[in-house]
A and B are shown apart, each in its own frame.
Chain A
Amino acid sequence: MKADTKGVLTGLHFMDGDHSCCEGLLAAGCRFIGGYPITPSTEVVERFAERIPKVGGVFIQMEDEIASSIVIQGAVWAGLKAATVTSGPGFSLMMEHIGLAAMTETPCVFVNVQRGGPSTGLPTLPAQSDMMQAKWGSHGDYEIIAVSPNSPQECFDFAILAFNYAEQYRVPVMLMMDECVGHMYERVKIPSADEIELVERRWATCAAGEYLTYKPDADLVPRMAKAGDGCRILVESLTHDERGYPVITPQAQKKLVSRLVNKIKNNAHKIYKYEEYKIEDAEVIVVSYGITSRVAFKAVELARQKGIKAGLLRLIVVWPFPEKKIEELAAKTKAFVTAEMNLGQIVLEVERCAHGKAKTLLAGHAGGTVHRPEEILEVIEKAISPNSSVGIWEL
């Protein structure tokens, strides 16, 4: 399905990541945002509030993020594409409804322009410290998808990617930006609507009387009908069967929750996205994502100039985590350096998947500013020094 021209601001622009993200959401067909102001994400909804009356859709500033994160799900079940936008403190309030979206299989997008935490933390300064929260923040077992842009251009591109994943797998998708990417101005090229490929909602194709809200297709994802279609849908936050009827038993729990997890796990090979740079002969591989991956790229260049065989694995999709890729690389390389703007989150995943076959080090800090390339370089050098041991990461 091609994008609707009304939402696509085709042309070359000079804009920051927040504004570009808003254009990406519009291009993806998002016609509903419920939001609550919070730095450094507010510009996304401010632009949407300005744009949407001229595109056709709804913006509503809700009373809080709890409301924002569920009003969008009402809009989705009424047939729209919808998103909400926030930063750390608001993201914490949204956890309730990230779980709800996972449980009810409501396709929607949560944009988190990350800032330093915990609590109110650093409202105006960047961090990448909500990465684990994005995956584990709500209670219970479930899977989500998270993508991490490293430029204003990618804030546009990945907003579309996020919606495509959400529709394909009927999961909440997190667009994990950060303050730096959100406020950085760069060239953004918005293609024409017919160059933008969108995944259409997986609408039910059966007769209304035969429709079951939670009967999955072969890929474990059920089809959707919207309110008002005459399908008499039952959307249920309790553990439920294919009809949406609550069933409070271990058997029903196993069947449902395993499917919610497996629909992502089994399809993970189609979801993973990463970029590799000078990986082939690398003895040290820097793993990074978001804005930090741009600094990591520079650090790899500096290392190469010093004769160190360094490479970069830049994660575009952070969740699901590319387990197989890390396992494969661990067999070939000597060390991983995970560069991220936190005190050690994704490095735990790298460590887990390396199975002790390669050293795993962290180039991290508590947030507030992007790394300097030299800081990452230092850890790369430490990684190849014979004195550093497996599994050590220093702060």
Chain B
Amino acid sequence: MTQTLELKDKMEGLLRTNRLPHVWCSGCGIGIVLNSFLRALIASETDENKVAVSCGIGCTARISGYMNIDGFHMTHGRALAFATGLKLANPALKTVAIGGDGDMIAIGGNHFIHAARRNIDMLVICVNNFNYGMTGGQAAPTTTKESCGTTAPYGSFENPFNLPFIADACGAVYVARWTAFHVRQLQLSIQEALKKKGFSFIEIFSQCTELFLRKNKYGAGLDEMKFFKQNSVIKNGADTREAEFNSRNDKIVVGKFVDRERPDFKESMDGYFGKVLKDKFIRYEGPLQTKI
């Protein structure tokens, strides 16, 4: 009991409670992600003063505004490019980018693949709700085949992205996928990824109750949680090509797929310049301390 009370206090300390109620619809999965993220921060004993959360625009991207840590609500799709600047200019920061599927892989797709390729040391969390929530339920590059969106009124006929596969192919050092149902695994995964050095990626399938579910008559939030529960197969270490989720008839492959070591951008840069420039190289350590 005391332990839960302590956790509650800590959670509240990490929330801007004076901003509540939040903008999310009831039953939406984004709140679960926020909850899991804060629990993971606490459990991993990450110094919250050194965490910076960069977000683009979308329902998911509103997440930084509710957390009582350094938060950035930037432009649609650009959270990773902004986070790259934060991290390179202050290597002591734990840099996290959180956003929706449209934000990160449609408009932000180019930044995503390059941040992964460069192995920028950041944790990237993508809430995949199979559509554009914030703008009213349009189709996304993740929309499952034959599912409807307001801009795909007869159902989508495009191939959706397999995000773990892209992240893997681009060089991410940590790749996992869970759903809003898998709260325990998700929290542990975030804890683990927070400790990783390099580009870590976690995709979370989530229910957009008001738009994607309603429009497609897939049921209420709870029904989608059941769908996630019943259709998921945990396959840790699976080949990310198996993680395809092209249609609602596919199994949802979840688990930790990639966990490897690769020098991150800064290590590569410092190591290489040290080698070729020798004593002429001045290693950049971080910004000077300010008055505060």
What 0/1 pattern do residues 78 to 106 of A give for CB contact below 8 A with B? 11101000000000000011001000100
Residue in B52, B57, B69, B281 whose beta carbon sits within 8 Å of that of A54 in the complex: B281
Residue in B68, B88, B283 with the greatest tally of chain A CB atoms within 10 Å? B88
Q: Verify B70–A228 contact, CB threshold 8 A.
A: yes
Q: Which of B75-83, B138-146, B198-206, B238-246 binds A?
A: B75-83
Residues A58 and B110 in contact in the complex (CB < 8 Å), given A100-B74, A228-B50, A235-B72:
no
Closest to A74 in B: B85
Residues A208 and B292 in contact in the complex (CB < 8 Å), given A74-B85, A233-B70:
yes
Q: Verify A82–B89 contact, CB threshold 8 A.
A: yes
Q: Verify B288–A79 contact, CB threshold 8 A.
A: yes
Residues A79 and B280 in contact in the complex (CB < 8 Å), given A67-B110, A232-B70:
no
CB distance from A223 to the nearest CB of B (A): 10
Residues A227 and B282 in contact in the complex (CB < 8 Å), given A53-B277, A205-B291, A232-B70:
no
Residues A227 and B292 in contact in the complex (CB < 8 Å), given A63-B114, A73-B85:
no
User: B85 contacts which chain A residues (CB < 8 A)?
Assistant: 32, 34, 70-78, 82
Residues A67 and B78 in contact in the complex (CB < 8 Å), given A79-B89, A79-B290, A211-B292:
yes
User: B64 contacts which chain A residues (CB < 8 A)?
Assistant: 234
Residue in A32, A54, A231 whose beta carbon sits within 8 Å of that of B277 in the complex: A54
Residues A246 and B75 in contact in the complex (CB < 8 Å), given A32-B89, A67-B114, A228-B90:
no
Q: Which residues of B contact A (CB under 8 A)?
A: 16, 19, 49-50, 52, 54, 57, 64-65, 68-75, 78, 81-90, 92-93, 110-111, 114, 269, 273, 277, 280-288, 290-292
Closest to A54 in B: B280
Closest to B291 in A: A203
CB distance from A84 to the nearest CB of B (A): 10
Q: Verify A57–B284 contact, CB threshold 8 A.
A: yes
Residues A74 and B282 in contact in the complex (CB < 8 Å), given A82-B89, A235-B71, A235-B73:
no
Residue in A80, A238, A245 whose beta carbon sits within 8 Å of that of B287 in the complex: A80
Residue in A62, A74, A104 with the greatest tally of chain B CB atoms within 10 Å? A74
Q: Which residues of A contact B (CB under 8 A)?
A: 6, 31-32, 34, 53-58, 60, 62-64, 66-67, 70-80, 82, 96-97, 100, 104, 201, 203-208, 211, 225-238, 245-246
Closest to A66 in B: B78
A67-B78, A74-B88, A236-B65 given; 11 more Cβ-contact pairs under 8 Å: A6-B282, A70-B82, A73-B82, A76-B85, A78-B90, A79-B290, A97-B75, A228-B52, A228-B93, A229-B290, A235-B73
Q: Verify A67–B74 contact, CB threshold 8 A.
A: no
CB distance from A214 to the nearest CB of B (A): 13
Bound form: Cα–Cα A73–B75 in Å: 12
CB distance from A72 to the nearest CB of B (A): 6
